Amino acid sequence: MDQAYLQILLEKHSKNTCTPEEQQLLFDWLQTIEAKNAGAMEDFLPGEWAKIKAGTWQKVKPTSKVRSMYKRWMVAAATIGVAAVSTVLYLNKHHSKRLVVTNTQPAVQIVYLPDSSMVVVAPGAEIAYNEGFEGNERKVEVNKGTALFDVKPNFSKPFIVQNDDVQTQVLGTAFKVEYNKTFKLHRVSVSSGKVRVVDANNKGYILHPSEYITIDKEKVLIGKVDVKDVDAFRNNELVLRDANLQTLVHTLQLHYHVAVKTSSDLRAGNITFRVPATMGLPALLEVIEKISYQPKLHFQLKGEELFIY
């Protein structure tokens, strides 16, 4: 169902102005959503979803009690309906709601956090956080993939991004976090403000605008990056500028989740490109082969392994 039309139907339902045909459309849509998100509706409305499926929703007169249930149900439906753009699930833990957002679409997704900070979530990426940011910190986990953060300042409540054993601490800034769990590869790039990145050995690194840090297992690399290239991610673009082979390898591992092997000098190269982030790996490799020089790069892709020579 078209998202705009769905929103219209949800608003009409909240005002109890849906026609029987429109109610049937909503019911059919919800059945489809449930099929794709097994158990999610029951998590939202324990005991009530079974009644809805049994046809109670269609048959019961709209009494005030039922309208109250409908309202709760439609809030849940609206939330789960975001599955057309991403998978969103609430998890109860110690009486606070846990929100996990997984972007399953080819375009980036905008997520607003409880403090109005914004996260741009890359395709295939996943973030998680507690609803309400309870306690004395604002903590978000990047479970996989890439996310760009634009953080609202709050000096009394630090903002923390956790991905596995690496932590990024900020007060108010814009920065990008990239994480590949398989390769234990982390990269943080700063657009504005200042962040402190703490590695698995509890060693801290301060980053300023136009700086990035890559943590490859226990190897640490700090370098410069153009702020415009960091922000290009908002437009679903993948950008490298004057990058050596090491930076290219890290980018391919983070963006395409492939194991990269090469015996070439990782310090060599001067690679620049700007492509849609949705471009497939074979197509990008063809572009790099054409533009690369000193050294001229060649690629061989075998399954999930990429050989550069």
Which pair of structure tokens corresponds to residue 81? 């309906």
Q: Which amino acid does the sequence have at 160?
A: I
Residues 275 and 66: their CA atoms lie apart, in Å, by 52
CATH number, residue 296: 3.55.50.30
Domain co-membership, 141 together with 66? no
Domain co-membership, 207 together with 262? no
Domain co-membership, 108 together with 224? yes
Domain co-membership, 291 together with 207? no
Q: Residue 38, class by beta-carbon neighbours within 10 Å (0-12 exposed, 13-18 middle, 19+ buried)? A: exposed
Last residue of a domain, one of 215, 233, 251: 233
**Dmax over Cα atoms in the chain, in whole Å?**
75
Number of domains composing the chain: 3
Domain co-membership, 140 together with 159? yes
Which pair of structure tokens corresponds to residue 263? 């015996």
Last residue of a domain, one of 181, 204, 233: 233
Domain co-membership, 148 together with 228? yes
Whether the predicted model's global pTM rises above the 0.85 cut: no
Domain co-membership, 193 together with 303? no
DSSP per-residue letters across 187-205: EEEEEES-EEEE-TT--EE
Domain co-membership, 97 together with 142? yes
pLDDT value of position 19 = 72
Domain co-membership, 159 together with 183? yes
Instruction: Look up the domain containing 49 and give its range.
Output: 3-84
Last residue of a domain, one of 172, 207, 233: 233
CATH number, residue 156: 2.60.120.1440
* Residue 147 · residue 127 · CB < 8 Å: yes
Domain co-membership, 188 together with 206? yes
User: Between 281-291 and 245-256, two packed helices, what is the crossing angle to 10 degrees?
Assistant: 170
Domain co-membership, 74 together with 103? no
Domain co-membership, 266 together with 213? no
pLDDT in single tens digits along all 309 residues of the chain: 555 555 566 666 666 677 766 666 666 666 555 555 545 445 444 444 454 444 434 433 343 343 444 444 444 544 444 444 445 454 444 456 889 999 999 889 999 999 999 999 999 999 999 988 888 899 999 999 999 999 999 888 999 999 999 999 987 789 999 999 999 999 999 999 999 999 999 999 999 999 999 999 879 999 999 999 998 988 889 999 999 999 999 999 999 999 999 999 999 999 999 999 999 999 999 999 999 988 899 999 999 999 999
Q: 168 to each of 158, 171, 257, how far by Cα in Å?
A: 10, 10, 22
pLDDT value of position 114 = 92
